[in-house]
Amino acid sequence: MEIIVPILTPFNEKGEIDGEKVKTHVENLLRKGVDIIFVNGTTGVGPALSKDEKRKMLDYVLDVTNKVIFQVGSLNMKEVLELVNYANEKDLIAVASYPPFYFSIPKDFIVKYFKEICKASKHPVYLYNYPGATGKDVDVNLAKEIDCIKGVKDTNPDFAHTIRYKELGIKTYNGLENLAIASLSILDGTVVGAGNYMPELFSQLREYIKAGDMRKALDLQLKIDEIDGTTIPYGKISSMYYLVKELQGYDVGVPRPPMYPLEENKAKELVEKVRKIWNKSE
Ligand SMILES: O=C(O)C(=O)C[C@H](O)[C@H](O)CO
């Protein structure tokens, strides 16, 4: 029943990563019951980071914990392999990658891509399957063909699709906040971007499930959904920077375009809306 948070990337006003803010954030997340930090995921704007920034984020998080999954995906295979080799010298749980996105490619190119990563990696290789973002669905059948995937994070509203990866006997997580109750109950855990700003709600959800108090678990899941849904019109990722400050009490810098900072009035409006839901008892 693991809680994995794809950590946001704290930027300063010049668009540089602020390492001290990364460490403060990781320390708090671990204190609040988060088990693993997923580095350079979607919430961490992984696809928008340079190779050096991806390495820096890994080093900052490793200064605090080795409970790390390091996302290495890129459309530049040379960069992917340099990141895998960099991770080979580090103590961490696994490396992960989304499939090559944007380009229309045959499935056997996706198989070759992941087999190259597996061949180069000393660590287990996890699949980050996010069809809604990449346009590619590396389902259980394709994962079987790749034949070296040791874990999967499936950001997918089709929970039946996610469950099928268990046929491979691998670590299986779903990456959607509104499926956290199912992921914590049936899979190896949940991967939640919203865990950046409300980690304690996911920890509490796990406790309710462990205690068999599914009514309370469901009510809390609905509260999580309401908060998560509130962020969508403002931009989920940009919203997180303001909600961490409001709900966790420390500064995680600003988002970097094309994840634009919120206008002051919008940020205030968002925080007021979320605070109202947060303060409601389940
Ligand atoms: O940010 C990531 O890498 C995630 O896996 C998180 C999910 O995609 C995100 O929470 C979906 O809302």
- 245-274: pLDDT as tens digits: 999 999 999 999 999 999 999 999 999 999
**ipTM metric:** 0.93
Rounded Cα distance, 120 and 115, in Å: 9
Question: DSSP readout, 20-61?
Answer: HHHHHHHHHHHHTT--EEEETSTTTTGGGS-HHHHHHHHHHH
Query: Which atom of ligand 1 sits closest to the CA of residue 133?
Result: 8
Task: Compute the distance from residue 232 Cα to the ligand 1 centre, in Å.
Answer: 13
pLDDT of residue 255: 98
191: annotated binding-site residue? yes
Give the mutation target among 155, 162, 197 for probing the ligand 1 site: most ligand atoms within 8 A of CB: 155
243-266 per-residue burial string, b: 16 or more CB within 10 A, e: under 16: bbbebbeeebbbbbeebebbeeeb
Amino acid at 39: V
**The pTM is what?**
0.98
Task: Compute the distance from residue 215 Cα to the ligand 1 centre, in Å.
Answer: 26
pLDDT of residue 281: 73
Atom 2 of ligand 1: nearest residue by CA position: 42
Query: Which atom of ligand 1 sits closest to the CA of residue 41?
Result: 3
Task: Compute the distance from residue 199 Cα to the ligand 1 centre, in Å.
Answer: 14
What's the mean per-residue pLDDT of the chain? Answer: 98
Query: Which atom of ligand 1 sits closest to the CA of residue 43?
Result: 1
Question: pLDDT (tens digit, 9 = 90+) per residue, 132-179?
Answer: 999 999 999 999 999 999 999 999 999 999 999 999 999 999 999 999
pLDDT of residue 204: 98
CA 91 from chain centre, in angstroms, equals: 19
Q: Does the pLDDT at position 238 exceed 90?
A: yes
Question: pLDDT (tens digit, 9 = 90+) per residue, 83-111?
Answer: 999 999 999 999 999 999 999 999 999 99
pLDDT of residue 62: 98
172: annotated binding-site residue? no
Of 33, 31, 61, give the one whose Cα is nearest residue 184: 33
pLDDT of residue 282: 61
Encoded tokens for 58: 């890994």
Amino acid at 266: K
Length of the chain: 282
Atom 12 of ligand 1: nearest residue by CA position: 176
Task: Compute the distance from residue 235 Cα to the ligand 1 centre, in Å.
Answer: 13
CATH number, domain 2-213: 3.20.20.70
The helix (run of H) or strand (run of E) holding residue 218 is helix 214-231
Give the mutation target among 43, 70, 174, 201 for probing the ligand 1 site: most ligand atoms within 8 A of CB: 43
Rounded Cα distance, 146 and 126, in Å: 11
